[in-house]
Amino acid sequence: MNITLNGKPCDTNAGNIISLLEEKNYRPELVAVEVNEDIIAKEGYRAYSLKEGDTVEIVTFMGGGEEKDTWFLGEHEFSSRFILGSGKYSLKLISAAVEQAGAQIVTLALRRANQGGMANIMDYIPKGVTLLPNTSGARNADEAVRIAKLSREIGCGNFVKIEIMRDSKYLLPDNQETVRATEILSKEGFVVMPYMYPDLNVARDLKDAGAACIMPLGAPIGSNKGLCTKEFIQILIDEIDLPIIVDAGIGAPSQACEAMEMGAAAVMCNTAIATAGDIPLMAEAMKRAIEAGRKAHLAGMGRVLFKGASPSSPLTGFLREEN
């Protein structure tokens, strides 16, 4: 059911006000609710049935303090800036990795179904996590569109990460076909998140095609080499008015932190976690590094001196000096 909640479109399964409050993590005793400009008494929250197209306002008293630092993909709001890959490691560790990462988005790869009731990755991903199917294996835009539609049919929603690679050695994305797939899928209601080689002109084309974000690679997929394309990613951060999510190549928490210090909106990581000795612990380390990098970016990074030095302590008033 589609309603307007606090001025923004909202897709909800809540049938009444109390269910909506629970879904959105509001405490009923601390809010007032207005539906279509009518104030609803608290004792009526459970009995009041929500309808398609309702306009709902939920208000509460707010004090001072830290502002909410969230970001958007299309109309969807997120607080975690860590997108977690789910490939390469045991299904039994996925739930722990997601929990330790604090991830709200997890990527999935579509493959032919196993016979005989084999375990399904979706059984291991915690409820409430946004599923982000990728089009890994697609060699052109048409194949990517096909994979995206199959993923939506399974129940993954409208999110899709476009990965189109004709090169099987270096796994570099085909930027031109990625633009074409983005244009097709965005017109069909998908939230399109394109993986691309960092190129300003292509990024502009992707934005014009309807991309919800831009996902430049830091280094080849699975290489753990870090931010080899740092200068080109910085150009995208500076010039493209969309979330820039650094994807592929991040191999250490320090590299994830650096990407966030640059001003990236989020970081996508898989191999560095999957190949770690302790997967849940590395997921937590990445989370904390991403949070630290984000805070550093918001604080404003200190200047860099390329010549000489600048003392951090006074150079006068030593004990040896005579008055």
Both tokens of 191, joined, read 């939230």
Domain-by-domain residue ranges, the chain?
A: 2-59, 71-299
The verdict on pTM exceeding 0.75 is no
What pLDDT does 308 receive?
A: 61
Which band of pLDDT confidence, cut at 50, 70 and 90, is reported for residue 322?
A: low
Q: Which residues contact 31 (CB under 8 A, 6 or more apart)?
A: 21, 58, 59, 60
Both tokens of 136, joined, read 């890994």
CATH code, 2-59:
3.10.20.30
Both tokens of 32, joined, read 């007032």
CATH architecture of 71-299: Alpha-Beta Barrel (3.20)
What pLDDT does 91 receive?
A: 72
pLDDT tens, position by position, 221-275 = 889 898 999 999 999 999 999 999 999 889 999 999 999 999 999 999 988 998 8
Q: Of the residues 24, 68, 92, 161, which is catalytic?
A: 161
pLDDT tens, position by position, 160-182 = 999 999 888 888 999 999 999 99
pLDDT tens, position by position, 49-100 = 999 999 999 998 876 555 678 899 988 889 999 998 887 777 777 778 888 8
Catalytic (active site) residue 161 = yes
Strands 105-109 and 130-134: parallel
What pLDDT does 86 receive?
A: 80
What pLDDT does 35 receive?
A: 95
Instruction: Give 150 or 301, the one with higher predicted confidence.
Output: 150
The closest alpha carbon to 160, from 122, 196, 186, 128, belongs to: 186
Residue 99 sits at the vertex; the CA angle it makes with 82 and 152, to the nearest 5 degrees, is 65
What pLDDT does 68 receive?
A: 77
Mean of the per-residue pLDDT values for the chain?
87
Alpha helices in 107-213 (DSSP H): 141-151, 175-187, 200-209
What pLDDT does 194 receive?
A: 97
Q: Return d(Cα 203, Cα 215) in angstroms, integer.
A: 9
